[in-house]
Structure 1
Amino acid sequence: MRRTTSTLLALLAAATFALSGCTDPADKPTEPEPPAETPTGTTTPAQEQSVTMTDAWVRATEAPMTGVFGTLTSTAEEDLVLVAATSASAGFVELHEVVGDETGERVMQEKDGGFVVPAGGTHVLEPGADHIMLMDLDQALEPGQDVVLILTFDDGTSIEVTAQVRSSAAEEEDYVGGHGHGADEDAMPSGEDAQG
């Protein structure tokens, strides 16, 4: 009886060993693959940026609006258009141009279609011309502060720009607000208070 029991146990052990060796590897549980990393922001990594902004600065102000200036430079093979901008420092942001009206007066207005940055070229934003306008500021901007903006282009890419607040003379800024600038035209300040 002992011999039979021992024989049965040996056969059972051998069968278990044989079955474990024949298991299909595909039947084994696999470790789940880690989820693919997804972008955490809307900005394009520096090495992939086709447009950069250099010498970015903001005019210091105590008014509820001010201008952002600098030089946009493109390394793209096709023209790109700056179509929008945002900043946590402002209630909203607009792209502005300064043009002469029928009376010859210089008028600031929202730029339809945005700013074209030519392929391999530059587009300058400067006082009295094309500029980015920070609107509905909730506090004064003092020299030395930084303002962060996100600039979005027509190809869907965005870049983050840090612009330093600087004091600057505004004698060339004698224009007034025009149609389509997003503020009440009669309330739009002219001259130094326009800050654009």
Structure 2
Amino acid sequence: MKTRLIYCFVFCLAMPFGLTAGASGFSVEDAYMRAMPPGRTATAAYLSVTNNHDKACAIIGGATEIAARLEVHQQLMNDGMMRMRPVTEVTVAAGETLLLQPGGFHLMLLDVEAPLVPGETHKMSLQTKDCGAIEVTAEVRSLFKKPTPAAKAHDHSMHGHSMDKGPMDDHSGHNMKKNGMHK
């Protein structure tokens, strides 16, 4: 709880100093987060984000009022098993669209404080290195609803994005197949 309050305080202080993106800086489509099974405190969020800046922008994390942490993660095949790990950043080239989707780059909401009800919407703010914030409103969707593919997404999974070099993250023991975040 203290960590979340500190992060929100720092984020609110930074906003007046130009860290929020202009209206034309980014376009976001099909933003949603998955409802969680009972007893779970982590879920994933997905969206497509188009960088309308004239320079590349690196997404480095974010914040939301409903979770203590919001991180960028990547799903990778490792020794025949699908694993997820946090990444320090994912870059969206100028004029390109990044699809944050199941099986690739996505957002993880960790230590979610209350159950998420399908149909609700929640705000998230994604931070970039030097392109401001990306303000997102995401709908909560059922674990059983199929995701809607974004029309103009560009898969960045093969690009050389900077990633944490630490060991694979275990996501606090949650089973990705069991909670429906991996098809």
- The answer, yes or no, to whether TM exceeds 0.5 is yes
- Report the secondary structure of 1:191's partner residue: coil
Hey, what does 2:114 align to over in structure 1? 139
Q: Percent identity?
A: 27
Hey, what does 2:177 align to over in structure 1? 191
Classify 1:65/1:195 alpha carbon distance in 2 versus 1 (closer, same or farther; 3 Å): farther
Cα offsets for 1:61-115 (capped at 9, x unmatched): 13211111010101122211111111010011111100111x211101112x311
* Mapping of residues 165-184 of structure 1, within 5 Å: 165-169=140-144, 179-181=167-169, 183-184=171-172
- Whether 1:164 aligns to 2:156 is no
Q: Greater relative contact order (Cα 8 A, min sep 6): structure 1 or 2?
A: 2
Hey, what does 2:126 align to over in structure 1? 151
**TM-score between both structures, scaled by the size of structure 1:** 0.66
1:118 to 80, 93, 101: 93
- CA distance in 2 between counterparts of 1:54 and 1:82 reads 16
Cα offsets for 1:117-150 (capped at 9, x unmatched): 1110100011121100000011111111111101
**TM-score between both structures, scaled by the size of structure 2:** 0.71
Hey, what does 2:72 align to over in structure 1? 95
Hey, what does 1:21 align to over in structure 2? none
- Whether 1:71 aligns to 2:48 is yes
Hey, what does 1:30 align to over in structure 2? none
TM-fit CA distance, 1:160:
1.4
- CA distance in 1 between counterparts of 2:170 and 2:124 reads 19
The structure carrying a bigger strand percent of its residues is 2
Q: Is the 8 A contact 2:18 2:132 kept in 1?
A: no
Q: Is the 8 A contact 1:170 1:192 kept in 2?
A: no
Classify 1:179/1:133 alpha carbon distance in 2 versus 1 (closer, same or farther; 3 Å): same
Q: Is the 8 A contact 1:149 1:161 kept in 2?
A: yes
Q: Is the 8 A contact 1:83 1:114 kept in 2?
A: yes
* Mapping of residues 35-114 of structure 1, within 5 Å: 39=16, 43-46=20-23, 49-62=24-37, 63-101=40-78, 103-111=79-87, 113-114=88-89
- CA distance in 1 between counterparts of 2:132 and 2:20 reads 7
- CA distance in 2 between counterparts of 1:134 and 1:39 reads 25
Classify 1:153/1:124 alpha carbon distance in 2 versus 1 (closer, same or farther; 3 Å): same
Cα offsets for 1:150-172 (capped at 9, x unmatched): 1111115112110000114389x
The runs of at least 4 consecutive aligned structure 1 residues that moved more than 3 Å come to: 38-42, 168-171, 178-184
Larger Rg: 1
The structure carrying a bigger helix percent of its residues is 1
Cα RMSD of the aligned pairs, angstroms, is 2.6
